Each structure stands twice: as structure tokens, then as C-alpha cells.
Amino acid sequence: MKMRKNAVVLSSGGIDSTTAMAMTRDQGFKIYSLSFDYGQRHRCELAAARRVADYLKVETHLVVCVDMTAIGGSALTADMKVPKGRGMAEMSSDIPITYVPGRNTIFLSYGLAWAEVVNASHIVIGVNAVDYSGYPDCRPEFIAAFQTMANLATKAAVQEGRRIQIDTPLIHMTKAQIIQTGAALGIDYGLTHSCYDPPGEGLACGRCDSCILRRKGFLEAGIEDPTRYVP
């Protein structure tokens, strides 16, 4: 019997990471789901990540506490206003204040550590270069540089020749294509959460960058959006 390989999947409980996880599972990997409690104002994404982990029957779901409020510098972790009602052009022209310094670098570093411990051959991250968020640490050139660094960082790679590959299955997909792919794999997007500034339990503001990208994605995919936006 062929052994199934292990993959660490970074999970935010949103559309992208959930779809990336479903695609990875569909390829036959055992899933090690990894989420981060980093003091984000939209902490309900952690409940969504847990729902997704249960739904996709992962091997282990781990939530790591990451002390980013001590570091500071972002609207997502500090008491700054999340921008609302921005157009697509505005979103892609600038790095928004919801940028969290070092976030994906820190998240991938934990992913690398856990991948080494659980013998995972892959780390999967749902970054995406098309519906561009404006974050520097979501770009293909950043991921490629992280891969080069990772190949030199671990005992697994250096002593055992066991390199850990960083996969970005969504990198060239639009939000609409991502949603269509996940829907075809049976994902119920009602389990997921995207809003940066949720106005209440189970609700989404509909006007932050994340909500705008989500709404537009469902519209373009021709799939009904299960999200409850406040009017």
C-alpha cells in the first residue's frame, strides 16, 4: 500500500485557504491544518478554520498563538480603522493599512517548523497574485525566496535531503476560479469567514477589502454567496 504523504496547510478559515486545503486533500495528502491566533480583530476566523478542519477531516488541527500585538503596526491587530468601500483600482495600487508586518514570513516559518516535526513533504499556502491584495508577502517572488531559504534552514533538508516544498495552488487563479474549483470539490463556503471587521456573530460588513473581493468572486463565479452581509 502506498503511504499517503503529509501536507501542512495554512488555514485562515477563508475562501482561499479552504479551497487550497480541499485541493490538497483531493490529491491524496493527509492534512495538517495550521491556524494562527495573532490577536486579529476578526478572531471569528479561528472558529471558521476549526469548522473547515472538521469538515475536511484533517489529521490534526493546530492553533498557534502568535504574539503580533506586541509587535504592532497593523489595522488588523491594533486599534486603527479598517478601510471601507475601496474600489479595485485603489486596492491594487497601494499596500493597505491592514498589512501586518512580517505576517506571512512568520506564518510560513511556523509552517516550516511544523512540517519538519510531522514529516510533511509540502506546505500549502493559499496566496494569490491575480485578485492582488497588495501585500508584498503574497507575491510569487516572495514565495520563491522563502523556498530557497527553507531549503537551507532545516535539519530535514540539510542532513536528510528531505526538502519541504511550498505549494501555492491558487497563485494564478482569480477569486471566481477559486470559488468554482472549491464548489466542484464540494466545499460549503457557508463554513468560511472573510470579513476583516465583522459587525456581529456570523455577519460580515460587506465593505472592507476582504468582503468586496469575496462578493465580487461569487458574482463572477455565478455561484450564490452564502455570506450574511449587514445591509
- Smallest distance, a second copy to C-beta of residue 120, A: 11
Q: Which is nearer to a second copy, 113 or 223 (CB)?
A: 113
C-alpha span between 18 and 127 (Å, rounded): 11
**154 and 6 Cβ atoms separated by less than 8 Å:** no
Q: Is 105 in the site for a second copy (CB under 8 A)?
A: yes
**Contact flags string 127-166 toward a second copy, x per CB under 8 A:** ---------xx-x-xx--xx-xxxxxxxx-xxx-------
Q: Is 99 in the site for a second copy (CB under 8 A)?
A: yes
Contact residue for a second copy among 13, 14, 15, 116 (CB under 8 A) = 116
**Environment class of residue 59 by beta-carbon count within 10 Å: exposed (0-12), middle (13-18) or buried (19+)?**
middle
- Smallest distance, a second copy to C-beta of residue 25, A: 22
Contact residue for a second copy among 26, 54, 67, 188 (CB under 8 A) = 67
Contacts of 192 (CB under 8 A, 6+ apart): 13, 14, 15, 18, 48, 52
**20 and 26 Cβ atoms separated by less than 8 Å:** no
**3-class DSSP state for residue 187?**
coil
**In this chain, which stretch among 22-30, 67-75, 185-193, 197-205 interacts with a second copy, using CB under 8 A?**
67-75
**94 and 215 Cβ atoms separated by less than 8 Å:** no
Q: Is 101 in the site for a second copy (CB under 8 A)?
A: yes
**12 and 45 Cβ atoms separated by less than 8 Å:** yes
Q: Which is nearer to a second copy, 145 or 184 (CB)?
A: 145
- Smallest distance, a second copy to C-beta of residue 157, A: 7
End-to-end CA distance of the chain: 54
Q: Note the residues at the interface with a second copy (CB under 8 A).
A: 62, 64-68, 70-73, 94-95, 99-106, 109-110, 112-114, 116-117, 136-137, 139, 141-142, 145-146, 148-155, 157-159
